[in-house]
Amino acid sequence: MNNAPVIFKSAKDRYPDFFKVTDFVIRTLHQWIDKGSIPVPQTALGLVFHASNVRAYNLYRSINNLLETDHWEDAGILARSMFELVLHLEEIGRETGKEEKKARKYLRFYYLQQFLHEEALVQYDQATERSTQIELERLVRMQKLARSLFAEFRTPKRTSEWQRSWCGKSVHRLAKDSSDPMRYHHYRIIYSLFSDLSHSGPFPVMSQMLLGETQQEVDELFNAHDDSEKDHMAIVLSLSTIWFLEILRKGSNIIPDYDICWNFEVMKKLYKAYGVARPPFPWERNQGSCQRED
């Protein structure tokens, strides 16, 4: 009898074509962001775009690391964060001429969140009898100042004193208001799945269990499970890639080396990984720019 342990190949080894996409994206962004010479933003909008690019890049690398090692469930939680970032950037750019004003509001809410996190820590120290009188007095002063500085975000008629988002909209509302008709489908199908994964309810807890009464049933479940793993890995990888490209396009002026044609190169590789024919790109229909060989 052979008692040698069964060794399974990682997702990266099982589905190399998909990870050629993420490797290509990460290598390029390493040159553009880590090694590139990005000027210091001079406006609130520029600062938000730059910070969003960096945030999305870090998320994408983390998603890739998790997917490579068969942790698509945890990668999906981070992909949800990428989706929310797309929606927030869309909201900032929704009204022409008001982008800088909205970016400043976005930054003010950042400072409010910093205060709320510090407030929670001091209150925890107070509850565990570790805070000093000086810290408590300082907290009272900060609370009074915050109500003045961040009055635009106050919601006195609700249970919480503060709005839960910088724009006063839920993720559901942002998806509904998006000019992209696919956003709401992303929300209903994808965001709901990723939300379930983040809340540790029955679905994420039981999704890795193969419950069969006989060995034959377990083997059949395992084969179906492997197909399901690939499908879920592919959807997390493809959607996070698409959302990442959209974030970079919105903040493209911040990256000197950025080239819109590169987005299409990434999409070519993604279609190839799925083994499906890609639709014609705009320049192929209009004989415009970005005419490159496959």
Distance (Å, rounded) from C-alpha 49 to C-alpha 46?
A: 5
The confidence score (pLDDT) of residue 190 equals 80
How far is Cα of residue 193 from the mean position of the Cα atoms in its chain? 14
pLDDT digits (tens, 9 = 90+) for 212-267: 556 655 555 555 556 678 888 999 999 999 999 999 999 999 999 999 999 999 99
Exposure of 115 in the CB half-sphere (CA atoms within 13 A): 21
Band the pLDDT of 192: cuts 50, 70, 90: confident
Distance (Å, rounded) from C-alpha 83 to C-alpha 244?
A: 9
Give this prediction's pTM: 0.86
pLDDT digits (tens, 9 = 90+) for 102-137: 999 999 999 999 999 999 999 999 999 898 899 999
Helix axes 72-92, 99-127, angle to 10 degrees: 130
Which DSSP letter does residue 40 get? P
DSSP string, 58-72: HHHHHHHHHHHTT-H
The confidence score (pLDDT) of residue 6 equals 44
Band the pLDDT of 276: cuts 50, 70, 90: confident
Whether the CB-CB separation of 247 and 265 falls below 8 Å is answered with: no
H helices of 95-201, in order, are: 99-127, 133-149, 171-177, 182-185, 192-198
The confidence score (pLDDT) of residue 279 equals 80
Distance (Å, rounded) from C-alpha 277 to C-alpha 284?
A: 14
